[in-house]
Amino acid sequence: MRKLLLLISWCVFTVSCSTQQNFSKTENSSIHSSFIPIFGTDATEAIFRGTIDVSGKYFSGIFVFKKLADNKFRAVLMSEVGMTLLDMSFTHKDFYVNYCIEPLSKKGLFKLLYHDFKLALDEPARQNLKRKKNLDIDVKTMVYKKKDSRDFYYFADGTVTKIMSKTLYNKTEIQFKGLNNGKADAIQIQHRPVKLRIELTRIN
């Protein structure tokens, strides 16, 4: 448990340390109005079966995401048998824990999940995304950088396929796979150098 908390603390510390860069040319007219493939264009709820792997320690459960309003979300983590483990509301500014069972009630864990969920769910305003042509992977994949951050969004056909968040000591990479009608069938969240990995598979 202490090892887990140390790892979480490391993640929380490192994701908090961001720097700024100058922007290059702005080109975001091709970005879809809803561009992160969690909810798609027609839904406000998404349910995934998921696993969390922290340095070989394994946990599984069901992840429920609800878009309550623009930039306002609710996330619930529950066991397969239906027990609510963690219930969190959050905006791009802060989070609130509605409920958490005792073994998981750790501030570091809350901050870490808040960071990852916010990064995966909260779409930055399009005017705050700046094109970084020099980082483009190929002709189909365009890279944008979020204003006042080191969060990079990789777009293909107007939808995000990957988000990369860099800080001094940590890198978080979110990959959206199996894109279909603006929704990803699978999502992978990987932290480095901390060996923390979250894998989500859509069930609804």
Partner 1 sequence: MSRKNHLKLFQGILFFLFCSGLAIGQDFKPVANFNKIQAEINKTSESIKTIKSNFIQEKQLSFLTESIKSEGLFRYKKEDRLRWEYTQPFKYLILFNGNEVVIKDGNNTNVFDAGSNALFKQINNLMLGAVKGDLGKNKDFDFSLNESPKQYQLLLKPVNDNMKKYVAGVEIYFEKGDLAVSSIKIIESTGDFTKITFYDRKFNEPIDEKTFTSN
Peptide bond into 37 cis (omega under 30): no
186 binds partner 1 (CB under 8 A): no
The CA distance from 164 to 155, in Å, is: 12
The CA distance from 145 to 181, in Å, is: 24
CA 48 to chain centre: 13
6 binds partner 1 (CB under 8 A): no
Total number of residues shown for the chain: 204
User: In the 8-state DSSP scheme, what is residue 10?
Assistant: H
Looking at this protein, which amino acid is placed at residue 141?
A: T
User: Binding-site residue total for partner 1 (CB under 8 A)?
Assistant: 36
82 binds partner 1 (CB under 8 A): yes
The residue within the footprint of partner 1, chosen from 9, 23, 27, 51 (CB under 8 A), is 51
User: What character string, x for contact with partner 1 (CB under 8 A) and - otherwise, covers 95-134?
Assistant: ---xx-xxxx------------------------------
Contact stretch for partner 1 (CB under 8 A) within 62-70, 120-128, 142-150, 151-159: 62-70
CA 193 to chain centre: 17
Helix (H, G, I), strand (E, B) or coil at 74: strand
72 binds partner 1 (CB under 8 A): no
List residues near partner 1 by CB under 8 A.
1-2, 4, 45, 47, 49, 51, 54, 57-60, 62, 64, 66, 68, 74, 76, 78-85, 87, 98-99, 101-104, 201, 203-204
